[in-house]
Structure 1
Amino acid sequence: MMKVVFGIDVSKSASTVCELIGESKNEFEITNDRPGFLQLLKELHVFAIHPQIIFEATGVYSRRLQTFLEDYGYDYIILNPLKAKKEMDQGLRHNKTDRNDAYHLALIQKLYHHPVNQSQAEEYHQLNALSRFYDQLTSDLIMAKNRLHQALQSTFPEIETLFSNSKGNNYWQIIKQYPHCESMIESDKEQIVRWLLTLKGFGNKHAQKTAKKLLKLAHKSYPVVKDDSVETKQARYYADRQLVLSSQRERIIDQMTALAKKLPNRDLEILESIPGFAQTTAVRVLAELGDMRRFSNPNKINAFIGIDPGRYQSGEMDSSLSITKHGNAVARKILYRAIGQIDNAAKTNPCHIADYYESKKRSSQTKGFKKIAIASIHKLIRTIYALIQNDQLYDYSVATHNQKDFCRN
């Protein structure tokens, strides 16, 4: 029977659809709403066997189409836009001015035979949405932190040296209470101590020491503006913003953890068993990679997150390039940071991935540690995939034993 492919070029409010039946094609446009999707459904129902449906991932716009197809039991192929463009450029001959992407997507499917996307439980979609919300809040935190820094340069810049370690909620609470050095000077030490004791983690000794340092910094400071200035109000606002955003991020991780524990597997527990994988890292890796059982091998996950090596082929030349970066950039970033966390944790909790990372760094003749980290991510993904496929928790002795067997073979 002749294969039928539906190529769909998804835009904001409308989509172009190309039905490719053998060499003939039929093109039409639909709106990205219920009437438009029902029009598409009518066209799909014409064929006894479900056509292959292919489109590009375009964020929230393509998500609506995905939901419709899943609701009506249709499989689909969804491509990363960069990968789709590359395949169009390499595999198809078309004019540069030709904008018929729906037709080209259908041709790509006929040429490359991409497998359909494996559907996942709704919980994975919710986890992914929460992970992206967490990422947005992190960006908002960074913006608020930068704006707070700018305001403090006019009101109380020395307070930024109060704590030498990482700044947390207590630091933001102190700035919210004392955003200007004059407000600090106007308070006596015992008044400051009593207020500090209301903060979590402050004992009397720590409060006395902090109050003394705060007063010293306040007397040392020379502000640009007065205590009742707009900049003072900005400093207080952005300190409060840090507290609100940090609290929201914590609630999101709690939601994600509760959701992950409802899944009919122990994937979260498996990820948390890897040294250096705190709960936040574990649940976000799960949210970004989804159900890893849907991948036939670890290389598919590498391609999914865009750390598979690109290749350049021209005539007799065939060389490997740097990673493609075609996939999930958020997952790439989380896993890249995870390598550093694994390496730090290895001081007390050994991991064969940290052993590999340190070995490569020692033997490297250059400072190309980023490439070493990417190679370590490959190893980490293989480890995660094997643990989940076999429903096993991480065990250093088992991992090193398997590593030796792999090297011998």
Structure 2
Amino acid sequence: MKTVFGIDVSKSTSNVAILVDSKAVKQFKIDNDLIGFGRLESDLNSFINPEVVFEATGIYSRRLAFYLQTHHFPYTQLNPLQASKEMDGLRKNKTDKNDALHLAETQFRLHRQKTLLQDPIYSELMDESRFYQEEISDFVQEKNRLHRILQITFPELTTLMSAPTGIVYWNIVKKFPIPSKVRKYGIDQLTQIIYDFSNHNISVGDAKKIALKLTDISKIAVSTVSPNSLTLQQVKHHADRLMNIDKMKKRIIRSMEKLAVKLPEYQSILSIPGFSTVTTVSLIAELGDIRRFSTTNQINAFVGIDLRHYESGNYTASDRISKRGNPYARKILYQAVIDMVSISRYQPTHINDFYQKKKQPSQHGTKKIAVASMSRLIRTIYHLVIKNETYDYKIASQAVL
């Protein structure tokens, strides 16, 4: 006797359908809380080795998965695309109640494997990674806002340093939002102020160079606001926000590193030339435990760089990547390839060798070559993690990784 629980999870409730040997014996709705999950647990305990299947619905299904895992009930969690394909023929009338029933029905026919339970560290890393991505988004927004408002108060200030970012720059912006405030200080005073802003992490000579340039641009700058304008508070506000976001980003990465270093794949991935701590922990967070994938093609699909082929009659379209997978992982891998290419002069990799070979008189654009390099990088990462090895250029350049 085979029993399947099909569960359709929504924001605050879930519909449950219980089928025994393909026949529906019970259907009910529960709240996604301890009371509702307790009722579900009671029904699960009424059967021998029940199978549970549900569709991943982002943060909403996380609570159900956590409850089942902590109470030692194995389950099968489907990604939405997989569930949609498998139930398309059954969904004549789509309702939450029917979806729960269809999930259970298809389990009898498809015999899906149970979901491999990952170490809770991966879930925590994923949450922190998404927090980090939010902070990056806010950082870019605040940086653009600060740049726009400086065009009104002190536009030349954006040319003061090679890159208008960093603690020293933001502190200067806060202290001198308009040129008239610079003119109140002599070179030696400005030098000391800038030196202090850096927490003495730059030399006095470099601080003086910045002070001299700050003085020069203040003499030619024209501000469109008065010294008492509220706009100056706006400048300071955005500079403060950027400093706070920068601190939080660093704090998140430190936390992610403390978690990731406990995982066996951390050192393997970090050993790849061009991979920083940020790249490594972010990629582990987005990919999760890649040992759950049986082939690298599955990882390609998960990331969204698997190729889609379209052919109709005499027309054949050029292959394109699906972009249906994890966009954060895709972005991290793309940037990793670019970083590996940029440092190849000092730290060679077989990924760069492949990239340069494809780049030679080719009809393909650099983006397509980078995507092909991403696929090769995924194979390399998978090999290193499965074999628990660190990167070795001589071995990698001779092997097909």
TM-score with structure 1 setting the length: 0.89
SS of residue in 2 equivalent to 1:197: helix
- Over the aligned positions, Cα root-mean-square deviation in angstroms equals 2.5
Q: Report SS of the residue matched to 1:214.
A: helix
Shift of the 98–121 alpha-carbon distance from structure 1 to 2, 3 Å rule, reads closer
Please give the alpha-carbon distance, in whole angstroms, between the structure 1 residues aligned to 2:203 and 2:238.
Answer: 27
Per the alignment, residue 34 of structure 2 pairs with 34
Query: Offset at 1:230?
Result: 1.9
Query: Does the alignment pair 1:401 with 2:398?
Result: yes
* Residue correspondence of structure 1 range 288-327 to structure 2 within 5 A: 288-310=286-308, 322-327=320-325
Say if 2:43 is the partner of 1:43.
Answer: yes
Contact 2:161 2:210 in 1 (8 A): no
Conserved 8 A contact 2:22-2:108: no
SS in 1 for 2:124: helix
Number of aligned residues? 397
Q: Following the alignment from structure 1 to structure 2, what is the Cα–Cα distance between the partners of residues 287 and 146? A: 28
Q: Is the 8 A contact 1:80 1:326 kept in 2?
A: no
The runs of 5 or more residues in structure 2 that have no matched partner are none
Q: Distance in 2 between matches of 1:380 and 1:258?
A: 25
Per-residue Cα deviation, 1:194-229 (whole angstroms, up to 9, x for no partner): 101111433222122111111222222222212222
- In 1, the alpha carbon distance for the partners of 2:262 and 2:274 equals 23
8 Å contact kept, 1:155–1:227: no
**2:84 aligned residue:** 85
Q: Please name the residue that 1:342 is paired with.
A: 340
How far 1:104 sits from its partner (Å)?
A: 3.5
**Partner residue, 2:212:** 212
1:193 maps to 191
Q: Tell me what 2:102 maps to.
A: 104
1:329 and 1:108 mapped to 2: Cα distance? 29
Q: Distance in 1 between matches of 2:374 and 2:308?
A: 16
Q: 1:320-399, aligned counterparts within 5 Å?
A: 322-367=320-365, 369-399=366-396
TM-score of the two chains, using structure 2 as the length reference: 0.91
The one of 261, 281, 284 equivalent to 1:286 is 284
Compared CA separation, residues 385 and 228, structure 1 to 2 (3 A): same
CA-CA distance at 1:127 after TM superposition: 1.7
SS in 2 for 1:9: strand
Conserved? CA contact 1:309–1:324, under 8 Å: yes
Shift of residue 344, structure 1, vs aligned partner: 1.0
SS at match of 1:194: helix
The Cα of 1:84 is off from its aligned counterpart by 2.8
**Mean Cα deviation higher: 159-168 or 106-115:** 106-115
The 1:18–1:282 alpha-carbon spacing in structure 2 relative to 1, beyond 3 Å, is same
Contact 1:196/1:202 (CA < 8 Å) preserved in 2?
no
2:5·2:50 contact (CA, 8 Å) conserved in 1?
no
Q: Quote the offset at 1:313 in angstroms.
A: 8.7
Q: Distance in 2 between matches of 1:315 and 1:78?
A: 38
Q: Note the 1:218-257 alignment, pairs <5 A.
A: 218-257=218-257
- Partner SS state of residue 360, structure 2: helix
The one-letter amino acid paired with 2:262 is: K
Task: Give the distance between the partners of 1:29 and 1:134, measured in 2 at CA.
Answer: 36
Tell me which moved more, 242-251 or 102-111: 102-111
Alpha carbons of structure 1 residues 83 and 314: separation in structure 2 relative to 1, 3 Å: farther
Mapped to 2, the partners of 1:8 and 1:318 lie a distance apart of 41
Decide whether aligned partners of structure 1 residues 381 and 61 sit closer, same or farther in structure 2, where only a CA change above 3 A counts. Answer: same
CA shift for structure 1 position 108: 4.5
1:95-122 residue CA offsets vs partner (Å, 9 max, x unmatched): 3765633233334444544422211222
The farther-off stretch of 243-252 and 289-298 is 289-298
Change (3 A) 1:212 1:316: closer
Name the CA distance, whole Å, in 1 between partners of 2:122 and 2:91.
Answer: 38
Residue in structure 2 matched with residue 19 of structure 1 by the alignment: 18
* Deviation (angstroms), 1:311: 5.4
